[in-house]
Every structure is written in C-alpha cells, then in structure tokens.
C-alpha cells in the first residue's frame, strides 16, 4: 500500500501526484487524502486512488479550524464522501474525531470502511512518545499532531516562517498496555451491532439512522456537557 497524505487534498498538484503514482504502480493499493466532500472524493478515485482519507480539523490535537477557520463536521464529511466513494467502488477512511468507542460505531454507521484514531491510542506502552515521570509520581506521554511545531521541528527542521503551526502538543496520562483499550472499542462496536440489528460492521451503515439533537433538547433533558459527542 502507498499512502499519499497531505493536510489539504484540494490542489491540482496533489491530484496529478495521485495520477503519476498510479501510473508507476498499477497494481498497488493507493490511499490518498485528506478531503471532506463527495466531489473531491470522486476526483481522487478517478485519478487512481483506491481509498480516500476523510477529515479536516476533527482531531483532538489538530488546530486547523482555530488557526485557519477551515473545517467540516466529521460525521457529515464521512456520510457524503462514503456515498460518493461507494458509487465508484472506492473506500473511505474516517480520520480523526473519535473520543469514545461509540464514535467508531458512528463512523462505520455513516459509511466509513476504516477508522483512524490517534488520541484514543495515545499514552499506551505501544504508542509513540517518551514516557515521563512527573514530580508527583504520575506518568505521562507526549502526544502531538503532525502539523504541530513539535512534529515539524522533528521531521522538517521547524515551522516555515510563512505559515503557522496547525497542531498542538499535549501530555496524556500513561495508560499501560493498549490491549484493554482495543477490547473496549471492539466491545462497544459489537454492542452497537446488536442494538441496531447488524450482523457485521459492514452492515452497520444499512441499519443506522442519525437524528439531529438540538441544543434546546439538550437543555430540556439535562444532557451534561461531558456527555455530548464531539464526533
């Protein structure tokens, strides 16, 4: 597999790159992104990509929406891009915005074929980042976005003077082995399937209905802020 990964997939240069890579690798699976609209999903698929990465700004350590004002609600993006991709026998990856196991189910329910997650896997033994013990004895690991100053200093020699960082670096509590987190996610998805009557993940999108919940209803039923989904 070859992954062509840029923060902004809306450029002629990027589309041409996908075409050139496809010509040079006719039998290789190509994943390209990121985009958030059906039109650009179709453009990249017709240019030679097999899998489209969907998401601009939903990640917990991504600050693109704050720095640039550009972004797209992740659930809407997945629904629109998945619909476009599946019409051309392509696939989509929902990239970012998962904060709990239920968000994986929502992504699959929206039509995603794959789900990427960073924050939920950060802080584990198997994840990147140096394990640091604080003065109070707590253990943490650093987690940062690939457009952050930390990442660009590490991989690109620093932030170019004509742009700003679009990611942040945070310290997350050390959570031990990733096994328990993976089991928690898988358990949540299995339960989602039973609730909606799906016999497999692939069936989730055919059994899922999304309902808009207004702020007024949240107030009426007393939904706590920490319970509101950010996906």
Catalytic positions: 62, 64
| Cα dihedral 15→16→21→27 (10° resolution) | 70
Neighbours of 180 (CB within 10 A): 11
Among 70, 2, 64, CA closest to 32: 2
CA distance 115 to 121: 13
Q: What are the two backbone dihedrals, phi and then psi, of residue 127, each rounded to the nearest 5 degrees?
A: -80, 165
3-state SS string over 102-160? Answer: HHHHHHHHCCCCEEECCHHHCCECCCCCCEEECCCCCEEEEEECCCEHHHHHHHCCCCC
Q: Are 78 and 107 in contact (CB under 8 A)?
A: yes
Between the CA of residue 105 and those of 63, 100, 195, what are the distances in Å?
25, 10, 11
CA distance 91 to 48: 12
**Cis (ω within 30 of 0) for the bond into 56?**
no
In DSSP terms, which residues pair with 172 in a beta bridge?
141
């Amino acid at each position: 597999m070859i992954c062509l990964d840029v923060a902004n997939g809306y450029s002629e240069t990027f589309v041409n790159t996908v075409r050139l890579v496809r010509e040079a690798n006719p039998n290789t699976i190509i994943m390209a992104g990121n985009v958030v609209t059906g039109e650009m999903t179709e453009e990249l698929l017709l240019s030679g990509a097999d899998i489209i990465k969907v998401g601009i700004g939903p990640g917990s350590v991504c600050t693109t929406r704050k720095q640039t004002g550009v972004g797209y609600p992740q659930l809407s993006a997945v629904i629109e891009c998945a619909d476009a991709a599946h019409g051309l026998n392509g696939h989509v990856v929902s990239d970012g915005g998962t904060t709990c196991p239920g968000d994986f189910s929502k992504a699959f329910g929206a039509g995603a074929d794959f789900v990427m997650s960073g924050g939920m896997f950060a802080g584990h033994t198997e994840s990147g980042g140096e394990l640091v013990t604080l003065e109070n004895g707590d253990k943490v690991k650093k987690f940062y976005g690939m457009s952050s100053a930390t990442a660009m200093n590490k991989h690109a020699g620093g932030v170019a003077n004509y742009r700003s960082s679009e990611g942040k670096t945070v310290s997350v509590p050390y959570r031990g082995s990733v096994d328990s987190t993976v089991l928690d996610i898988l358990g949540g998805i299995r339960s989602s399937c039973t609730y909606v009557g799906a016999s497999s993940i692939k069936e989730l999108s055919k059994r899922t209905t999304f309902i808009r919940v207004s702020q007024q209803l949240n107030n009426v039923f007393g939904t706590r802020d920490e319970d509101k989904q950010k996906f």
